[in-house]
Amino acid sequence: MTVTAARRAWLTDLPVLLVAVVWGSSYLAAKGVTTSGTVLAVLVLRFAVVLPVLVATGWRRLRAMSGAQMRGAGTLGLILAAIFVMETYGVVHTSATNAGLIISLTMIFTPLAESRIRGTRLSPAFLAAAGLSVLGVVLLTQGAGFSRPSLGDLLMLGAAVARTVHVLAMSRMRSVEGADAMSLTTVQLGTSVLVFAVLCAAPGTGATPWAAAAAFGAGDWAWLLYLSVFCTLFAFFVQMWAVRRTSPSRVSLLLGTEPVWAAVTGIALAGDRPGWAGLLGVLLILAGTAWGRTAAAGTEPPPATPAPAGPGLEPAGPGLEPAGRP
């Protein structure tokens, strides 16, 4: 590689790596603005900022979607809504470090589920990596002494499973084949916001978006805009830009560093103290997911439809990761 080519590659890689950093910090941002009584309200507000931009930017392609594609995207949006709800409630009830690392198990769960569906065998290296990651989660959630995992830990684990379902559905639903990436993302998000709004209207589900917004201080609005602008819009458009200038695999590899940044921001900025056992768990999860990602990459067939690999707004294009966290 020439110096010029290396410089171009670095200029492409840097924004993608920044997306991974932003995603890793999103768990801390979500904890900063959300309480158990404002989860649904925050989700409505967060994506109410995003949707008009996506609709305005991709209006022509959105109108060109077929009825089958709209219905398929809407179905995926229902799954996505469940993921967002579990993730956001999970973040409220656990640490930012735990949230970011447990959700990374999607990178392990997805190849395992895919192999079951296809009737294929995974390599011993991948199975060893999966075992390492699971052991890491056990140590992470028990870092302060062996006890039952917290509600937040269990919700994040459920969200990782739901993400796996979303990835597999995305890759196997014929109705969304050939759909424009931005349009597919817009319909999914629109469906999710509709679900959040309906749930907000139900008694006992917490504050309304208007009440939550009225109670926000400057710091709350800063966190919310960070989640909306950087963790969703910026992430989405950087992925769309980068995948046209490099390979989807390279983009996916860089985005796969997200758990590292989740651990760094959780421990360094949020003051998470997982203990020695927990720190060992962090290292095992990071090693296991990185090893598993590499081992699975060599055996997976190319996806027939856009299919990403991991935790916020799900796949928007070939080889793209989710466009938002959490």
Q: Which whole number is the average pLDDT over 183-195?
A: 95
Cα separation, 180 vs 183, in Å, equals 5
Listed by start position, the domains of the chain span 11-297
The answer to whether the CB of 181 falls within 8 A of the CB of 316 is yes
Q: Which of 95-99, 103-107, 176-180, 251-255 has the lowest mean pLDDT?
A: 251-255
Residue 7's pLDDT is 63
End-to-end CA distance of the chain: 37
Report the percentage of the chain scoring pLDDT > 70.
85
- Do residues 321 and 228 touch, judged by C-beta distance below 8 A? no
pLDDT value at residue 148: 74
Residue burial 4-36, b: 16+ Cβ < 10 Å; e: rest: eeeeeeeebbebbbbbbbbbbbbbbbbbbbbee
Q: How far is CA 126 from CA 85, 175, 205, in A?
A: 30, 31, 41
What separation in angstroms does the CA of 234 have from each of 53, 296, 320? Answer: 11, 28, 14
User: Cβ neighbours of residue 202 under 8 Å, at least 6 residues apart?
Assistant: none
Question: How far is it, in rounded angstroms, from Cα 57 to Cα 54?
Answer: 5
Residue matched to tokens 């927990």: 278
Q: Identify each DSSP E strand in the chain by its residue range.
A: none
Q: Cα–Cα distance between 166 and 16 in angstroms, integer?
A: 23
Tell me what pLDDT residue 294 has: 81
Helices (H) and strands (E) in the chain, counts: 15, 0
Q: Is the CB of residue 262 less than 8 Å from the CB of residue 27? A: yes
pLDDT category, 192, cuts 50, 70, 90?
Answer: very high
pTM attached to this predicted model: 0.86
pLDDT in tens, 46-94: 999 999 999 999 999 999 999 999 999 999 999 999 999 999 999 999 9
By residue count, the chain amounts to 326
Please give the full DSSP string across 213-235, using - where no structure is assigned: HHH--HHHHHHHHIIIIIIIIIH
CA distances from 223 to 148, 201, 215, 289, 306 (A): 31, 24, 14, 28, 30
pLDDT band at 273 (very low <50, low <70, confident <90, very high): confident
